[in-house]
Amino acid sequence: MQLQDILYSQGFGTRRVCAGLIQQGFVNVYEQNSHLSPVKCVDAATEFEAHELRFQVQGVDWPYAEKAYILLNKPAATECSQKPSTYPSIYTLLPSPLRLRPQKAAVQGVQAVGRLDQDTTGLLLLTDDGKFIHRMSSPRHHVPKVYEVTVKHPLNDKQVSQLLAGVVLDDDPKPVRAAACEAVSEFHLRLTLTEGKYHQVKRMVAAVSNRVEVLHRSQIGGLRLPDDLAPGQWRWLNTADLAAIQGASA
């Protein structure tokens, strides 16, 4: 694949813009299976094997990724929307190539796999792989999501039992059950869900006569939010991460 096409596929602009970056000397390419410094390439038509290619654009390292899979530690007071109404969008936390990756659909770039409320923090996945989004979002696949919940009133065994047995939400007569639930401490509830209804955690906790004060998602499938990833930071998901996420689904 020509280098300008590789950069285009990774979201660095139109093919003309990508060719310009290369011709102006802003692109360096690592030799495959080499730990040596990258080599400057100024010919936009130079052919490379895209798979596992690493390169630099304006001094920033990038891996070639046919599909992008991203983990973001979502901070509070951000919205999972391209057009936020009140708070900044989570997409402003990502570099522009991830937001501009070309797609056949009208929407460019990576998209959030489901949404977290503006005041909810924690693990959020983003990708430009539509099949992955569907698999992670579909209730048929029962992907477990773990939430750390700080509640207003002291927890008791009855509340935990009710959440495990199922509670009725106002818009659905069918009881909604937690896949797992434990009172970690007097005001700390750990709740595992396998579906994603609107404001589900808050409404389930309200249904057992308590109230969510702080909500944080710590895990999806077998993938935990890394301790060293600060709020607002992101990283690429590797093969092991993806296997951990999907291996926990039915």
C-alpha to C-alpha distance for 24 and 26, rounded to whole angstroms: 6
Give tens-digit pLDDT for 194-207: 988 889 999 999 99
Give tens-digit pLDDT for 100-126: 999 887 779 999 999 999 999 999 999
pLDDT at 248: 53
* pTM of full prediction above 0.75: yes
Q: What is the CATH number of domain 144-220?
A: 3.30.70.1560
Domain map (residue ranges) of the chain: 3-63, 69-139+227-247, 144-220
How much is the average pLDDT of 163-192? 94
- Whether residue 117 lies in the annotated active site: yes
Give tens-digit pLDDT for 16-37: 999 999 999 999 999 887 778 9
C-alpha to C-alpha distance for 250 and 142, rounded to whole angstroms: 6
Catalytic residue selected from 5, 43, 117, 170: 117
Give tens-digit pLDDT for 75-104: 999 999 999 999 999 999 999 999 999 988
Class of domain 69-139+227-247: alpha beta
Tell me, which fold does domain 3-63 have in CATH? 3.10.290
Whether 71 has a pLDDT exceeding 50, the answer reads: yes
Mean residue pLDDT across the chain: 94
